Every structure is written in C-alpha cells, then in structure tokens.
Copies of this chain bind each other. A is one copy, B any other.
Amino acid sequence: MIQTQDIKRPPKSVSEAVLKVGAASATSTLSRLGIRNAAILGPVSWTPGKAIAGPALTLQFMPKREDLYGADEYADPEKQLHRHVLYHAQAGDIVVVDARGDMKSGVFGDMMMTYFKGKGGLGVVIDGCLRDYPNLKKLDLGYWVNGFTPNFHTQVDLMPFAVNVPIACGGVTVMPGDIIVADDDGAVVVPQAMAEQVIEHSSKHHEWEDFSRERLSEGGDLRRYYPLSDAARPEYEAWKATQRRK
C-alpha cells in the first residue's frame, strides 16, 4: 500500500497574514531579504479576483515510462499518486504541482477537485493544465494554471511520481509546507521559515499611501507624493486630520 508523507503546516494566522501581504509585496519583500525571485512563472490566474494563501501540498510528475507506470496500475486507483496528494488535504491547503509545463495532461478533473473543495482546499497552482473546465468553474476554488486540456493526467506524456517532496514549479523550488500566496498578479512561494519576516517587513506600510494615491489620481506630482516628500508632509498631515473627522 502506498504511504505518502503529510506536511508540517504553519499556524493559520500566518497564512492569513501572508494573504494580507499579497503576492506583489511578498515577492518584493523576499527580494530584499535575499530571495531573488519567488514568483512562479507560467501558471496564471483563471479565477480573477480570487486571492488565497496557505501551505503547499506538492505533487511531482515525471516523463511517463511504461515500465514504471503500467496499464495495470489503472486497475487500482490507489496507485494513482495524484489522488494521494489530495488525501492529505486539510482546510486552507493549496496543491502545487510540478507538471513540467506539459500542455497535454489534465492534472485534475471534476471529481478530484470536488473532493478537494469538500475537504476545505483553497486552490491549485500547476505549471501545466487542469481538465473539465466547464465543471471546475462551478467550484469555489482558485486556479493558477498554464491552461486547460480535455486530456486526462496520464494520457500522453506524464505520470505522477511523488507526493510532498521538494518540487520545481514555474522556475521556483517549492518545499512541502511552504506558504503560497496567489492573486491576480500570480503565485509566490514564501519559505515557511521566512514568513514572519515577510509579514513584518510588509506591514511597515506607508500610511500616507492612500493620501498619495488620491493626490496622484487628481494629477498631483509624482515627485511630491510618491514617495511622500518632506514638502508635502504638512499637506498630508492636514489631510489626515480631515480624514479622522470623517
């Protein structure tokens, strides 16, 4: 019987805080902390407006080799590793798949994703494809994928190979349990051990940003308002006072 490892999850509060940071701030903060590029390249949001954050369950595909993944394995669904990664799913989890950029394999379909949703899963990040889009659209999950295909997962060139092992997805190494934050800009990998740092750095938000955005949208000078110049600070203080009265 196949046994695969579970992941060590960060506290829920950490994922929630990372969600507030957002993908854009997460990758730029990580860049300043020494992680040059934490943004997964390839998978894009097919669920506009959706934003999620949570620990990564990982699934690794490899080029199909018929001596390793034979026809007889279909007979026993338990040997299909893409099922196993979902067995580990808990509320708040995100499945990240190394599908090698393949556009001919629909990694998960309707029933698999329904099950994942039923267990509280948030969404998937795949450098490859999903399948059954007409049905998947009805589920309240987030999908960051390269696209969709009618083919099933092992139909053409791939086979599932391992669960909850380190993978590469879209040019970024993902360790099982790393925190994924994904929104309209894309998906970013926050190493679990760096999450607190990312949260702290990003929270030092410039409180004058709303003021500046307002001024810029009225045609204000970029040099004066972004970043906030000393010259504009009294104007900002006055604005802030007004805001408080509202």
Taking beta carbons and an 8 Å cutoff, which residues of A are in contact with B?
22-24, 26-28, 31, 34-37, 39, 41, 44, 49, 51, 62-68, 77-78, 83, 86-87, 100, 103-104, 106, 109-112, 114-115, 117-120, 131-134, 137, 147-152, 155-157, 161, 166, 168, 171-173, 175, 183-186, 188, 191, 193-194, 209, 212-213, 216-220, 222-223, 225-227
Whether B63 lies near A173 (C-beta < 8 A) is: yes
Question: Which residues does chain B contribute within 8 Å of A103, judged by CB atoms?
Answer: 41
Least distance between A226 CB and chain B CB atoms (Å): 5
Chain B residues closer than 8 Å to A117, beta-carbon distance: 217
Q: Which of B64, B104, B184 sits near A133, CB closer than 8 Å? A: B184
Question: What residues of chain B lie closer than 8 Å to A213, measured between beta carbons?
Answer: 110-111, 114
Contact B104 A150 (CB under 8 A): no
Q: Distance in Å from the Cβ of A55 to the closest Cβ of chain B?
A: 16
- Write out the residue numbers on chain B whose beta carbons fall within 8 Å of the beta carbon of A226: 77, 111-112, 115
Q: Which residue of B lies closest to A188 (CB)?
A: B150
Contact between B27 and A151, CB atoms less than 8 A apart? yes
Complex CA gap A112/B24 in Å reads: 15
Task: Find out whether the CB atom of A66 lies under 8 angstroms from the CB atom of B34.
Answer: yes
> Across the interface, which residues of B come within 8 angstroms of A62, CB to CB?
166, 168, 173
A23 to B148, CA, bound (A): 11
Q: Quick one: closest B residue to A223, CB to CB?
A: B78
**CB pair A151 B37 closer than 8 Å:** yes
Measured in the bound complex, the distance between the Cα atoms of B65 and A217 in whole Å is 34
When A and B form their complex, which 9 residue pairs have the shortest distance between CB atoms, in order from nearest?
A: A23-B150, A133-B184, A150-B185, A115-B216, A118-B219, A24-B150, A114-B216, A27-B150, A62-B173
List 10 A-B residue pairs with CB atoms under 8 Å apart, sorted by A's residue number: A31-B152, A35-B66, A39-B149, A41-B104, A51-B134, A63-B171, A111-B213, A114-B216, A133-B183, A150-B185
Closest B residue to A225 using CB positions: B115
Please indicate the chain B residues that have their CB under 8 angstroms from the CB of A227 in the complex.
Answer: 77
